[in-house]
Amino acid sequence: MKNTLTTFEKRRFIEIAEGFSKAHILVIGDFILDQFVWGNVSRISPEAPVPVVDVKRESFMPGGSLNVANNIRSLQGVAYPCGVVGRDLFGRMLLKAIRQQGIDTGGIIYDSSRPTTVKTRVIAHSQQMVRFDREKTEDISSENLTQILKFVRQRIRSMDVVILEDYGKGVMQPFLLREVVKLAKKFGKPVLVDPKEKHFNYYRGVTCITPNRKEAFGGYERTIGPWEKPPSLEQVGWNLMKKLKLASVLITLGEDGMALFEKGHKITQIPTAAREVYDVSGAGDTVIATLALSLAAGAKMQEAAKMANLAAGIVVGKLGTATITPEELEEAIRKV
């Protein structure tokens, strides 16, 4: 199945993309600082059979839910991230990076009892060699939850879409999800969730979840129960929708594209738009950011999913936690 658009669809998609600059997106979730150590490998260590990386440079990027906010910013939308960082060096670095990118910092909550989550990736010759994490994954405090909800109540009226970005670092808790979904429904705002496999039961009543294949099948087993024989993709999608009372489920399938399950519609299979795949790090962040921006710009869910698929096809061709620009997205629309 080819991933092609009609002339009308291309015009429509460009029109949607042009509306991104008017979109205001609330992004709630786990804040992460992504550290990249870049170098070359020319020998094996005499101490152990491992490669020796000759480090050439380091770089830092906002990660986790902040990468979603950065994707929104890169596509000319306005993001309002809300989450927790530690009162430490990495927290200050993260705040500096956000400010440099012109992202709103009003939703940043400091907690001196928690370290800022840092993911360090060592990359040599365009290949990730190893990753190590520094983090505390226990639930954030009730005081932090209260501060997040205060920020949500202050901003939600002026938001177009709410994103809940669950990296399993302590922000997403049942109480927070219930309160955010309640507020969003009160003001008619769609709620999109980038889920964590073990938390699927938290997401009851949201507009859409965007798991990858592994997360969808794992979430199905945790939510629906263990199976006697593996279910089909269709069974997973429709049953998650029914069990969690969702309006839609968008399952990303890597080289097989995406599958959209939507209330009142047949399943929509969307072939991959990727030409070359270098790095899938952060691709899910690009998907949910583009999905949210498209919905905010007036797209229907099927249109928004196809836009997100095009964006993902661009970002996987880049190395590291990357973003895309409106120009790149428009070029991809015209070429499809």
**Residues identified as active-site:** 285
**Rounded to an integer, what distance in angstroms lies between the CA atom of residue 293 and that of residue 196?**
22
- Residue 219 three-state SS: helix
Question: What DSSP element (H or E) covers 209?
Answer: strand 208-209
Give the closest residue to 144 by CA, choosing from 105, 110, 177.
Answer: 110
Check: CB of residue 123 under 8 Å from CB of residue 36.
yes
**Rounded to an integer, what distance in angstroms lies between the CA atom of residue 294 and that of residue 19?**
8
**Rounded to an integer, what distance in angstroms lies between the CA atom of residue 311 and that of residue 304?**
11
Token pair listed for 163: 């994103």
**Rounded to an integer, what distance in angstroms lies between the CA atom of residue 194 and that of residue 250?**
10
Q: CB within 8 A of 137, min separation 6: which ones?
A: 168, 169, 170
DSSP string, 170-194: S---HHHHHHHHHHHHHTT--EEEE
**Rounded to an integer, what distance in angstroms lies between the CA atom of residue 219 and that of residue 199?**
8
Main-chain dihedrals φ then ψ at residue 292, nearest 5 degrees: -65, -45
- Residue 17 three-state SS: helix
Token pair listed for 313: 């096809």
Instruction: Report the DSSP beta bridge partners of residue 220.
Output: none
Q: What type of residue is 228?
A: E
